[in-house]
Amino acid sequence: MCGIAGICNLSDSAKPVDRREIAAMNRLMVHRGPDDEGIWLSDRGNVGLGHRRLEIIDLSSAGHQPMEGGSGTQLVFNGEIYNYRELRKELRASWDFHSKSDSEVILAAYEKWGKECPRYLRGMFAFAIWDPRTQSLFAARDRFGIKPFHYFTNGNQLFFASEMKALMPFLENIETDYIALSEYLAFQFTLGDQTMFYGVRSLSPGHMMNISGGQIHIGKYWDISYELDFDHTPKFFHERLRELLDDSVQAHLLADVPIGSYLSGGIDSSLIAILASRHDKQNNAAFHGKFTSHPGYDESRYAEAAARAGGKELHQASMTAADFLSNIEKVIYHLDQPTAGPGSFPQFMISGLAAQHVKVILGGQGGDEIFAGYARYLIAYFEQCLKAAIEGTYHNGDFVVTAESIIPNLSSLEEYKPLLKQFWEHGLFDDLDERYLRLIDRSADMDGEVDPTCLNRESVVRNFQGVFNGNGSVHHRAYLDKMTHFDFKTLLPALLHVEDRVSMAHSLESRVPLLDHPLIEFVATVPADVKFRDGKMKTMLKQAYSDVLPKSILGRRDKMGFPVPLNEWYQGELRDFVQDIFGSQCARQRDIFNVDRIRNSIDENRRFSRKLWGLMSIELWHRQFHDQAQSYRSYVNNPPENMSVDV
């Protein structure tokens, strides 16, 4: 796990790459790789590569990057290749290996397969290879977006880095992308490759980039396919799932440093931790965060049950409002842009605890998106079941459960009654895409807090429909697949963005065994009535591992998804902090806010909502980056001592 950066000239008239520029990019990402640093510049000065290393595999100096290949190629790589040993055996006939690192395997794979090499890699990765023979730069990102790759061009040069903050010194102006802002306000994540920094983009998951002759070409090398398998029984699917997940967990334990596990108390992290213990009993540290002053948010008893089942030594962090006040600006800084909900705060704190004990951590990210673990799936399906019952369309292939069968499981929606009321207030039984958009749209109650000229509602709806309906390239036979596919393509990359940033803030490598492409490709073939039988969330995972998971966790209906007692804190220590944020002069000067309307809304509601979280995050983001634009621009030649709130 590392940080990569680079500059590639797009025209002969571009100035030579300056070593100080690469050094500045490295310096802004030092937390990603405190163990080693490398900088390489081409003889022509038309390309420069930078690397910060966190030593995980092959701790020797032979793993130093940028790494040179036999043909003069240069590699910078962030991530882990879990099948590198198998690839090494396959490639050694055509490549003389000088290290035991997975990095060198990428160079050998590129030498043999060229631009097709990402298809052979199993793991999480973002890398760039400079090829002097063709004077071209080739880059690729893993299939799910576990590892980041951000870039922008000023016309003469292309700049790329693992984190957006490393690009800030080279932006002529740090401006907000209002389409991305509109998407964030609607979903609390952005769609596609746009970021909230105008001009800065992310290489999409499963995509590669080639820069040659001043031209930038981006293409897709992988996508998920829903070719449903109706020929096998649930028993077959359960057994195959166990085979693939067991293999993935074993592969993700590959490291030359200590490994631990997150334990939230839910099914996904508990399962990964327990399975990891079966393969590696020495690395038995597990980590959990709790809010002991608010019992309704305490899930530690479930984490303790999973720890006992896996023979884990559980380390717990108790988090307070004071911790939030001391760390929220650090969280926003490391996220680069507002992403997802307040769960990034406890994730940041637990990553800090874990980093005191281990260098690699396993988590359960991805389980909700691939095994149907969100309550909104049940809400949306219940509506469509009623519609199908009324219209007599149960057997048209779009519905996998009946209204009668789903009713016994509706008790899990007890805490969602306010959402149900709001959801069914308008547009009942409308088209599937319109209903799901209404279910996940968080901007519906925006009442003038944001300047409407900064919002682009038409673009939000158009981009949402493109992903939800498959952009014409993905065919879904079930409503469940439409919903999970949208979240898989949009929400999951946002959550992985958070996972990467909060762990790397503490120089901790986070791994996600549920996101192994052989496993994902298999699950996509499983019919929805196996994954979501009778409207039971995660029923396939629960049934497959009923003999592994503790019964207290299997039977849970109250999993909260890492909630934070912000509303309770807002009644005390947090209130003045929030009021000061929106009462400040800098907030009043923003083009996007109607601060008086925000403050009135706060006074009227007297509660901390997800809407308020989003608005607060946007303001803190502006302070971290927009308000320090001049400092970033001078960073190359005169780096300030207190540029960041880096931990």
Binding residues: 102
The question of whether 586 is a catalytic residue gets the answer no
Write the burial class of residue 638 (CB in 10 Å: 0-12 exposed, 13-18 middle, 19+ buried). exposed
Total residue count of the chain as it appears in this document: 647
Provide the 10 A C-beta neighbour count for residue 518: 13
Tokens at 558, concatenated? 């109250």
Residue 431 three-state SS: coil
Q: Which residues of 127-141 are buried (b: 16+ CB within 10 A; e: fewer)?
A: bbbbbeeebbbbbbb
User: Three-class SS string for 222-291?
Assistant: CCCCCCCCCCCCHHHHHHHHHHHHHHHHHHHCCCCCCEEEECCCCHHHHHHHHHHHHHCCCCCEEEEEEC
Contacts of 323 (CB under 8 A, 6+ apart): 349
Phi-psi region of 199 (alpha: psi -120 to 50; beta: other; left: phi over 0): left
- Beta strands 285-290 and 313-318 are parallel
With beta carbons less than 8 A apart as the criterion, state whether 225 and 240 touch: no
Beta strands in 82-213 (DSSP E): 123-131, 136-141, 150-153, 157-161, 201-202, 207-212
Tokens at 439, concatenated? 């279910």
Contacts of 522 (CB under 8 A, 6+ apart): 240, 241, 244
With beta carbons less than 8 A apart as the criterion, state whether 31 and 643 touch: no
With beta carbons less than 8 A apart as the criterion, state whether 223 and 248 touch: no
Catalytic annotation, residues = 2
